[in-house]
Amino acid sequence: MITLEDWALIRRLAAEGVPKARIAERLGISRTTVVKAVQSDAPPRYERRAAPTSFSPFEARVRALLENDPELPAVVIAERVEWPGSITWFRENVKRLRPEHRRIDPADRLTWDPGDAAQCDLWFPPKKIPLEDGTTKLLPVLVITPAYSRFITARMIPTRKTEDLLLGSWELIQQLGRVPRRLIWDNEPGIGRGKRHATGVDAFMGTLATKLVLLPPKDPESKGVVERRNGWFEKSFMPGRSFTSPADFDAQFTAWLERINGRVVRTTKAAPVDRLDADRAAMLPLPPIPLHLGWRNRVRLGRDYYVRLDTNDYSVDPRIIGRLVDVSADLDRVRVRADGRVVADHARVWARGMTVTDPGHVELAARLRKQFQHPRAVVAGDDLARDLSDYDRAFGLAGEEAD
């Protein structure tokens, strides 16, 4: 076999018109070798003939294990087949065989019509956010992206529970100004899994007149638009940033998204904001009635005049002790009503296990407690004396003489 340098020289000399016999004489090779080098499409390459190795006796058993479980770890396979040699050499051979046994899952290219669908997902920024009690926590960000325009809307929410997911969804849909005909979720427990929907989700979808689509397992392509953007947030938005609160995060993220929604998307060749009007035109109108969303509960106010929402306690006007009160909350406020009248209004805290107290409630409770412990003395007056003849008349003895 000739070297790579000889092959290149032969082809250059032949291109210059040097006869093949003279090239063979100059390089000391046969004329047949020169002819083959000129006619070849690729440089010469040495290929070793396949020969049995120490792995060969084990290959059939390894293939059988990979056929049942293509992702079985190489160490486990080595133990099952009783491999006596180097684990590094064994891993290399298993790596070579594994792709032949993996099941193929082709991904179709999806097209999205205007107004048809919006993809919904939760993104967890990889940086803890400071909360009211001085602790820090990883908080979810709800992201809704109409698939046709790629216009991104997002908001940080306190929890992954159904109440907060629906509150956040409604806020982002209001930002769009219209309702996508389908909302696509990937089996989020607070929304639903399989054919089972979380409590309140069907009513929410029915009020919006939209359809909820819960994707089957192993179908990331159907929600790839929003998931790719979640990964992009971590690389483009998060680096070098710090946050003082959830509100500060939302302010920075919203300002960043305003710029991003104006940039041209490679796949659509247009900026999301330029395609948004066409997307909205094909969507459904917002419902004409207000949506009753959020946390709702009815309890009887106890002597400690606090109500619990999620994991936090909020004080209530102590004059309502013993009566039924309605507790409601959205992403920002917690309100308590008695007979339709607001008896407590607090900013909602996102930390856990906190007690939120209105100083006015404590002051009023102290006055009520003092009144209970020291009741006012009743002074008997002359008006409490009664004539004995009144009793005689009451019992029908009037006019009779006493014995």
Separation between Cα atoms, residue 170 and residue 164, nearest integer Å? 10
The answer, yes or no, to whether residue 402 has pLDDT greater than 50, is no
Return the H-helix or E-strand segment holding 39. Answer: helix 31-39
Q: Is 192 left (phi over 0), alpha (psi -120 to 50) or beta?
A: left
Among 10-14, 49-53, 336-340, which stretch is predicted with the lowest mean pLDDT? 49-53
**Quick count: other Cβ atoms within 10 Å of Cβ 334?**
22
**Is the CB of residue 307 less than 8 Å from the CB of residue 314?**
yes
> Closest Cα to residue 185, out of 282, 125, 117?
117
**Is the CB of residue 23 less than 8 Å from the CB of residue 7?**
no
The answer, yes or no, to whether residue 250 has pLDDT greater than 90, is yes
Annotate 191-211 with DSSP letters as a single string: TEETTEEPTTHHHHHHHHT-E
The answer, yes or no, to whether residue 239 has pLDDT greater than 90, is yes
**Is the CB of residue 204 less than 8 Å from the CB of residue 293?**
yes
Separation between Cα atoms, residue 158 and residue 106, nearest integer Å? 37
Q: What confidence category does residue 148 fall into, taking pLDDT thresholds of 50, 70 and 90?
A: very high
Residue 227 has, within 13 A of its CA and on its CB side, a CA count of 9
The residue among 147 and 37 whose pLDDT is bigger is: 147
Q: What confidence category does residue 60 fall into, taking pLDDT thresholds of 50, 70 and 90?
A: very high
Average pLDDT over residues 175-189: 93
**Quick count: other Cβ atoms within 10 Å of Cβ 85?**
12
pLDDT in tens, 10-26: 888 888 888 888 888 88
**Is the CB of residue 176 less than 8 Å from the CB of residue 152?**
no
Q: CB burial class (10 A; 0-12, 13-18, 19+) of residue 183?
A: buried
Average pLDDT over residues 264-273: 92
For the chain, the distance separating the N- and C-terminal CA atoms, rounded to the nearest angstrom, is 155
The pLDDT value given to residue 383: 56
